[in-house]
Amino acid sequence: MIGKDDVEAMVQQLTKQTRQPEVEAEAASESIVKRARLYLEEHFDEPVTLEVLGRHLDLSPHHLQRQFKRATGVTPKEYVSALRIDALKARLKDGRSVTEAIYDSGYASGSRFYEHSTERLGMTASAYRRGGHGMSIEFTVVPSSVGRLLLAATERGVCSVMLGHDAVALEDELSREFPNATIKPGGVDLKKWAEAVVGSLDSLDTVDLPLDVVATAFQCQVWRALRAIPKGAAYSYGEIAAAIGNPKAARAVGTACATNPVSLLVPCHRAVREDGSVGGYRWGSDRKQRILTKERRAAEQ
């Protein structure tokens, strides 16, 4: 006669047998993606196509692309693009000429780089190399229910939103962020933008202003996900990672939130810890909690 313990042992064995293929498939996928990332990181300055990468890993391009994007949230092409941008920035900071930096970072020609440079760098390569020299930035500081708010913009869009207690301290921080740019007080239109952002704190209104920010493909994904979170709600870093198709990237999501230069416009305050606590915030955890409370109250009205 089969006893209860025997039945439980059989169930456990069957469960283990059923789960084993899934575990093996997941491990194989992780290995593939790890090998792909290592190859791309070693060869990003070469013309690596999906077909070349597929041959190296002995996989079809379609299967490789699907596996890679599911694990990282970006395609191999987007991953290489981010690597090249990072390499370009490092070379420019090291004092390389713009032309040297472009070719050493894997771009086949200057024109290929300039097709995408303003989207990724938010300024010309020459200006970036000189720490923003030649950029013109206007700013304004207005009061809000959570402290002073500084909003700064180039001719292309908002490049910085900061929160604090002291206007002078905020202006100093802006100068440190763009040490070689021409920074000056803005006019009435810029003040209206800032006041619209402040007004949105206590209402369900959303403010859609043009942005001029530096971002990798992954950061853009996270920031789009943050902007999709409705007012009054907060998602964990893990939930945001899952929403962009990369459930294991919770820590990277946290980093993308921390490097967000346009607070409130990209609502990184709506990203919280897995246990529901507010977690860190560049402008202080207490301020983050106050903003979340205000948004929740506005949503409940």
More confident residue, 232 or 16: 232
Give the residue with greater pLDDT, 218 vs 162.
162
163-190: per-residue pLDDT in tens?
999 999 999 999 988 888 899 999 998 9
pTM over 0.85: no
- 252: CB partners within 8 A, 6+ apart: 218, 241, 246
Spatial strand order in the sheet of 136-144 = 158-164, 147-153, 136-144, 182-185
Q: Whole-angstrom Cα distance, residue 138 to residue 200?
A: 22
SS (H, E, C) 39-101: HHHHHCCCCCCHHHHHHHHCCCHHHHHHHHHHHHCCCHHHHHHHHHHHHHHHHHHCCCCHHHH
Catalytic, out of 159, 220, 257, 268: 268
Please give the Cα distance from 197 to 263 (Å, whole number): 10
> Which region among 16-25, 211-220, 242-251 has the lowest average model confidence (pLDDT)?
16-25
268 is catalytic: yes
Q: Is residue 280 pLDDT above 50, yes or no?
A: yes
The answer on pLDDT for 217 being more than 60 is yes
Q: What are the CB-based long-range contacts (under 8 Å, 24+) for 139-142?
A: 139/171, 139/174, 139/183, 139/184, 139/185, 139/186, 139/190, 140/185, 140/186, 140/190, 140/191, 140/193, 140/194, 141/167, 141/170, 141/171, 141/194, 142/191, 142/194, 142/195, 142/198
- pLDDT mean over 270-299: 93
More confident residue, 250 or 92: 250
What domains are defined for the chain? 1-132 (1.10.10.60), 136-202 (3.30.160.70), 217-300 (1.10.10.10)
In the three-class reduction of DSSP (H, G, I as helix; E, B as strand; rest coil), residue 150 is classed as: strand
